[in-house]
Every structure is written in C-alpha cells, then in structure tokens.
Amino acid sequence: MERRWTLYDPRLAWMLVAPVLLLLIFFLVLPIAVMAAYTFFTFVTAGVETSALTTANWHEFFTDSYYSGFLLKTLRVGAITALLCGVLGYFPAYFIWATTFKHKWLLLLLLIVPFWISFTIRTFSWINILGEQGVINVALPKLGIINEPLPMLYNEGAVILGMLHFLLPYMILNVYVSLEGIDRTLISAARSMGCTSAQAFREVTLPLSLPGLAAGLLLCFVLAAGSYVTPQLLGSGRDALFGNLIYDTIMGELNWPMGATLSIVLFVVLGFFAAIYTRYMGMSQIVKGLAG
C-alpha cells in the first residue's frame, strides 16, 4: 500500500529537481573531485600519465616561480579590471536610476544587448578600433596628430580594455539592481534635514548601494581572472593569463596532471575570494545581479 502524497511532498520535490541535480553532480561536482585527484597523478609523457600517487605536481607549482608569477599577474589584471569596472560602471548605473528620462527602459535594454552579442565578436571587434588598420590609427594620421600608427593592440592595456568592455554591463546591472532597492524617501528625508545632494549621496545612497557594487566587483574579478579568449585575441604571448596557461598545459603539452593542478589552484584562489565575499555579503546580491 503506497502512502498518499501530501501537497508539498519532499519526495515530489526531489523528483522535480532530479534532472538538474544529476547534471550538477556528474558535470560539476564529480569533474572537480576527479580533477583534484588527478593533481596527484604522475606525468609520464605527453598524453600519458599513471595513477601512481605523487606530490611532484604540487611541488613543481610551489617551487617554480613561473607559475606563481602567472598567478600574481592574473590576480593583478583581474583586480585592475574589476576596480576600473567599479569606477566606470557606477556612473551609468546611478544615471539610469536617477534620470527622469522617459525611455529609461531603452538605456537598460542597451545594457542587455551586449549579452546577446557573441563574446568572441565583441572581443575581436576591438581590433577594428585599436589595430593598425583600426579607426584610431587611420583617423589620427589624417588629422595630422600622429605620424606613426600607435601600437595599441597586443599588450596588457588592450587585454584589460577588452575585459572592461565585456564586464561593464555586469557591473552596471549589479549596481543598478541595488540602487533600485533603495527606499527613495530616505534620500528626500536626508535632503529635507539639510543635506546637500553630495552629502545625501555620500551618506545615504552610496552606502546603501555598496552590496551591489561589491557583488559586481567580485563577479568582474572572478570572470576577468578566469578569462581565456580576451588575452588570446587582444594580448601578445606575454600577456597570457592563467586560463591560457591551463589551456596550453592541457591542449598543447598534454600534461594532464599539471593542467589539473593549475585548474584546482585557480578554483581554490577564486573560491577563496568568493568565500570572503559571501562571508560578509551573503549570496543573495549575486543572485539578484545574475537574474536581473
């Protein structure tokens, strides 16, 4: 005799979430677990490894400054990108929130449109702006401002610019969502008590929008530090980041144990920053930002 199902039966819930749960287990949790085990495997030659356990990969990672240099450079580039995103993204978010412009939705839509345009296309389109045949290097000599084309492509600046381009919408939307959550009467109250608009902004609006800014910073930092395509297209070999290192180690050298080690390192380092963030901010802001 089967027990009757109650209205919100947990068993039914498990059945509903089963497909997604299985996908997450087999394509996310298990791969990362296996990858963690792989870091202790022995590399024999390209594409071949044995399951003889060793700490050689970790030893190599911690002693060879080549790897730590890569990691530091990646974190530096990620941090610079995130900070620039924060500074440049706050203005548009504030503007969209505060404007009395009737077609505000248009400004918001224009922020979402880049998400629809292929990331690869958005990245390579910068070659048309910065390259030797790009807008700037064709227009400026004609105007007589420069004689030689400026070498703007294939350096770290171009990589950061490209990442800024793809991350700014994330930042703006995150800050905007958190500004939208502010009770506007608080600002009127501050103003009626004699605050200048600058003071009201500094004392009320800015602190209340910090969660969105922090979520944006974390998202931009993690996505920038994990990027692969942007350094590949807009940087030279010297501007490769940790993602490129992982790709080359696995797809080029076929050194799977070392590739797994590097992936786990990146996972742990970025996870560490995310953990600090959730420790103070919780996950809810990120959720809002992603769904918004």
Residue ranges in 174-213 that form contacts with other proteins under rule CB under 8 A: 196-198
Question: Nearer Cβ to other proteins, position 98 or 189?
Answer: 98
**Binding of other proteins at residue 52 (CB under 8 A)?**
no
**Binding of other proteins at residue 260 (CB under 8 A)?**
yes
Q: 150 with 218: CB under 8 angstroms?
A: no
**Binding of other proteins at residue 42 (CB under 8 A)?**
no
**Binding of other proteins at residue 237 (CB under 8 A)?**
no
CA 242 → CA 58, 102, 262, 267, distances in Å? 16, 45, 8, 11
**Binding of other proteins at residue 14 (CB under 8 A)?**
yes
Among 46, 53, 83, 287, binds other proteins (CB under 8 A): 287
Among 115, 207, 236, 275, binds other proteins (CB under 8 A): 115
Give the amino acid at 119. F
Dihedral sign, Cα of residue 178, residue 182, residue 184, residue 189: negative
- DSSP output for 217-257: HHHHHHHHHT--HHHHHHS-GGG--HHHHHHIIIIIS--HH
**Binding of other proteins at residue 145 (CB under 8 A)?**
no
Instruction: Report in angstroms how near the CB of residue 63 gets to other proteins at its nearest.
Output: 22
**Binding of other proteins at residue 228 (CB under 8 A)?**
yes
Question: Nearer Cβ to other proteins, position 96 or 156?
Answer: 96
Q: Which 8-state DSSP code applies to residue 27?
A: I
Question: Nearer Cβ to other proteins, position 65 or 142?
Answer: 142
Go through the chain and tell me how many residues it has. 292
Question: Nearer Cβ to other proteins, position 32 or 72?
Answer: 32
Q: Which of 240, 242, 221 is nearest to 232 (CA)?
A: 240
Q: Are strands 48-50 and 42-45 parallel, antiparallel or unpaired?
A: antiparallel
Q: 91 with 205: CB under 8 angstroms?
A: no
**Binding of other proteins at residue 273 (CB under 8 A)?**
no
Only segment of 56-64, 182-190, 202-210, 247-255 that touches other proteins (CB under 8 A): 247-255
| Binding to other proteins, residues 54-83 (CB under 8 A) | none
Instruction: Report in angstroms how near the CB of residue 120 gets to other proteins at its nearest.
Output: 5
**Binding of other proteins at residue 266 (CB under 8 A)?**
yes
Instruction: Report in angstroms how near the CB of residue 24 gets to other proteins at its nearest.
Output: 5
Instruction: Report in angstroms how near the CB of residue 197 gets to other proteins at its nearest.
Output: 4
**Binding of other proteins at residue 38 (CB under 8 A)?**
yes
Question: Nearer Cβ to other proteins, position 217 or 260?
Answer: 260
Only segment of 54-62, 63-71, 206-214, 245-253 that touches other proteins (CB under 8 A): 245-253
Strand positions, DSSP E, 4-136? 42-45, 48-50
Q: 213 with 222: CB under 8 angstroms?
A: no
Q: 165 with 280: CB under 8 angstroms?
A: no
CA 24 → CA 177, 198, 205, 268, distances in Å? 28, 47, 39, 19
